């Protein structure tokens, strides 16, 4: 791990000189190249249910959003996506959902077992704050990784924007420690520019990534959703305006770069939220400043628009195949290559081909 003090991190987060920022990005890109190489790993995202019992103040899937039509995939629909992941040559599938009690622990475990039995895919779960015995069951069923962002390390802000389920106080950092103890590769992360989020707390987020020794770190912009208390302005966490972190691309790039510098071998995605606020170039720019993972969407097009965490999400009209082709092209245009296999933490994969478009052609052949 490379050392950076909180003061250094704060200085970079407030930096606005484009020449200095370019230096930061180049440094992060060099660390990325040395420690995880030029491979970009594709994790196929399957949004298996939009039902959620929680009331997170920022998220469009919150239970209180009655305007959203909800869906839950059948086992067959999930397997259609899994088979598409294989066909497209992905190494991992990520099953993500709201906190949906009807996704019972045994039902999920059976699906995980079947994926592990029938394919060579790594399985990542992102199903919210579930009980320890459920997390253990899924790990025993063969799940490799679990994503659970802690959203912000500011405890007071987290308490305001992320109410507990039965009046309890959720502790995502404790859950992440438990996931690591169970042998998962554990992924945390934060949103950037949450109303009430200070530069100090964002600097602390970067230090928390190190303290927790996270295997995967997801960083995306907070995007206001009008059907949520935070997005509509009904909830307005108090903060000195000079301390408020803006929710813009540059802040996200700085955070990705700083995170790469201090957590050299972590897997860091260039997120869909980043691609949403800059549809033309956000995903590529994230890969230029330290990211080494992207998560193409495998969810059936009829469900994508219903998984509305925030408005105007990128890639909701594209099919799984066109997402794959588009991303393959973007990756090659950066002089990088699509990683093969599961791409766990610390894997520095040699290129299997140097010819541009080879991966895109491969996908076309497999169709
Ligand atoms: N329910 C699971 C959970 O909460 O971990 C997984 C699904 S949840 C929609 C995945 C992530 O979406 C959250 O961890 C949060 O960081 C992100 N998210 C939710 N609302 C958002 C918003 N308005 N803007 C940007 N990201 C958001
Ligand atoms: Fe539900 Fe996750 Fe959205 Fe919270 S962030 S409302 S737990 S889907």
Q: What is the 3-state secondary structure of 158-193?
A: HHHHCCCCCCCCCCHHHHHHHHHHCCCEEEEEEEEC
Establish whether residue 146 lines the binding site of ligand 1, counting it when its CB lies within 6 angstroms of any ligand atom.
Answer: no
The stretch 8-30 carries a mean pLDDT of 98
Angle at 34 between CA 33 and CA 35, to 5 degrees: 100
**What sign does the dihedral 64-70-74-77 (CA atoms) show?**
negative
47: tokens are 């949004």
pLDDT tens-place string over residues 138-158:
999 999 999 999 999 999 999
Tell me the C-alpha distance between 198 and 203, whole Å.
9
**Residues 6+ positions from 136 with CB-CB distance below 8 Å:** 182
Run of H or E residues at 97: strand 92-97
Name which residue sits closest to atom 8 of ligand 2, judged by CA: 98
**Helix 249-262 with 6-14: angle, nearest 10 deg:** 150
The stretch 343-364 carries a mean pLDDT of 54
Establish whether residue 273 lines the binding site of ligand 1, counting it when its CB lies within 6 angstroms of any ligand atom.
Answer: yes
Report the separation in Å between the CA atom of 27 and the middle of ligand 1, taken as the mean of its atom positions: 29
Residue 360: predicted pLDDT: 41
Name which residue sits closest to atom 5 of ligand 1, judged by CA: 128
Place of tokens 């296999």: 341
Nearest ligand 2 atom to the CA of 59 is: 3
Tell me the C-alpha distance between 146 and 141, whole Å.
13
Report the separation in Å between the CA atom of 365 and the middle of ligand 2, taken as the mean of its atom positions: 38
The stretch 305-327 carries a mean pLDDT of 90
Establish whether residue 59 lines the binding site of ligand 1, counting it when its CB lies within 6 angstroms of any ligand atom.
Answer: yes
pTM of the model: 0.94
Name which residue sits closest to atom 9 of ligand 1, judged by CA: 309
Place of tokens 């594209």: 318
Residue 356: predicted pLDDT: 37
Which ligand has its closest atom nearest to the C-alpha of 51?
A: 2
Tell me the C-alpha distance between 48 and 70, whole Å.
11
Residue 341: predicted pLDDT: 76
């Amino acid at each position: 791990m490379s050392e950076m003090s909180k003061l250094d991190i704060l200085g970079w987060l407030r930096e606005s000189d484009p020449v200095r920022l370019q230096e930061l990005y180049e440094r992060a890109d060099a660390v990325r190249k040395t420690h995880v190489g030029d491979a970009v790993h594709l994790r196929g995202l399957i949004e298996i249910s939009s039902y959620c019992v929680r009331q997170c103040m920022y998220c469009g899937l919150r239970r209180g959003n009655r305007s959203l039509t909800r869906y839950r995939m059948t086992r067959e629909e999930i397997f259609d996506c899994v088979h598409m992941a294989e066909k497209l040559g992905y190494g991992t599938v990520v099953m993500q959902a709201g906190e949906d009690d009807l996704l019972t622990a045994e039902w999920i475990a059976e699906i995980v077992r079947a994926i592990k039995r029938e394919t060579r895919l790594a399985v990542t779960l992102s199903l919210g704050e579930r009980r320890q015995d459920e997390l253990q069951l899924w790990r025993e069923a063969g799940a490799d990784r679990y994503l659970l962002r802690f959203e912000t390390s500011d405890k007071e802000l987290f308490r305001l924007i992320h109410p507990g389920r039965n009046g309890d106080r959720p502790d995502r950092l404790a859950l992440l420690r438990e996931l690591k103890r169970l042998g998962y590769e554990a992924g945390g992360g934060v949103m950037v520019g949450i109303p009430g989020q200070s530069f100090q707390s964002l600097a602390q987020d970067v230090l928390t990534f190190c303290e927790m020794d996270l295997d995967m770190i997801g960083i995306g912009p907070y995007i206001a959703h009008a059907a949520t208390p935070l997005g509509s302005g009904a909830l307005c966490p108090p903060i000195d305006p000079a301390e408020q972190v803006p929710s813009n691309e540059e802040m996200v790039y700085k955070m990705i770069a700083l995170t790469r510098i201090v957590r050299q071998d972590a897997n860091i995605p260039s997120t869909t939220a980043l691609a949403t606020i800059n549809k033309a170039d956000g995903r590529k720019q994230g890969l230029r400043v330290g990211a080494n993972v992207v998560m193409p969407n495998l969810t059936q097009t009829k469900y994508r628009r219903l998984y509305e965490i925030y408005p105007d999400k990128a890639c909701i009209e594209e099919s799984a195949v066109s997402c794959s082709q588009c991303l393959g092209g973007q990756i090659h245009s950066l002089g990088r290559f699509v990683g093969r296999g599961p791409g766990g933490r610390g894997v520095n994969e040699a290129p299997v081909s140097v010819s541009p478009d080879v991966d895109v052609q491969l996908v076309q052949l497999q169709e």
